[in-house]
Amino acid sequence: MDVPTTLAGFPNAAPLAGLDRAWTWSLGPVLHFAGAVTADGRRLLQTNQRGRHDEDLARAVLAFARQHEEALIGEGRPIAAVHGFSADGYAFDAVAATAPEVHGHHRTQNPDLTAVTYIVFPAFETEVSGRESLREAQARYQKMLSPAGIGREAVPFLKMSFDNPRTGAGSISPGRALTYPRTLRREIPQLEGAPGGFVEWENRTGEVWRVVWDGEWVLSGAEGDRRGMSLDDVLDFADRTLLLS
């Protein structure tokens, strides 16, 4: 496939000013796209914006992705991120990339292009572990991160399992599964008065903690047990673990 020719032939396509071998195109007033050809000329780095549109941000994301092409798409991971990105007016501090089998863009009208397209987007350091399975990467990209929303807030990587015999709530699947930080904050307080229950979570770096109620809060991790903590202390600690780099 001739990627540059394909891009230049898109409806409404125009060269992206300030970046060579790069184009912009759109679908109506809501969906805006920009893409740059990789160094070998055979693959596409594409960034999408829904609603609010900022061409300067798109250009910065693509330029950064090109600079870090090998780390983002060269190691065969379904989702990867490189930290150190910045753009005026935004809190993003990373750029992430998803492989073709994660995003599926172009598969209806141009499936040959799907196979060589990597969607790149502005992200936060806390959001991608680099250890995601294909299904986890799909869940993050398609459901959890809203990667086309340039005004979005961070959604830190979090995997969690729990069981609460008092409320009857608990994990459906064995092992820890992806979830949102608000779920962790909701389920920890519910353990009070529920001996035998637990909440266990894993952050982006792979560190795992477990909290139980044994007449007091007991927090376990790599450093051993901590007791005598207030609920606020436990919740603050849990929040901090999701921000570790």
**Could you read off the pLDDT of 175-215 as tens digits, one per residue?**
999 999 999 999 999 999 999 999 999 999 999 999 999 99
145, amino acid identity: L
Sketch the domain layout of the chain as residue ranges: 3-144, 159-241
Say how far apart CA 201 and CA 184 lie, in whole Å. 8
For residue 108, what pLDDT band results from cuts at 50, 70 and 90?
confident
User: Model confidence at 59, in pLDDT bands (50, 70, 90)?
Assistant: very high
Among 181, 69, 204, 55, smallest CA distance to 131 is for 204
29 phi/psi in degrees, rounded to 5: -85, 0
* Beta pairing partners, 97: 80, 120
Tens of pLDDT, residues 154-174 = 999 999 999 999 999 998 888
State the pLDDT confidence band at 150, using cuts at 50, 70 and 90.
very high
Q: Is 150 exposed, middle or buried (0-12, 13-18, 19+ CB in 10 A)?
A: buried
**d(C-alpha 128, C-alpha 197), whole Å:** 29
pLDDT band per the 50, 70, 90 thresholds, residue 148:
very high
* Position 66 pLDDT exceeds 90: yes
| Most confident of the following: 39-43, 152-156, 240-244 | 152-156
| pLDDT tops 80 at residue 245 | no
Provide the mean pLDDT of the chain.
Answer: 95
Average pLDDT over residues 10-29: 92
Note the pLDDT of residue 195.
93
pLDDT value at residue 7: 85
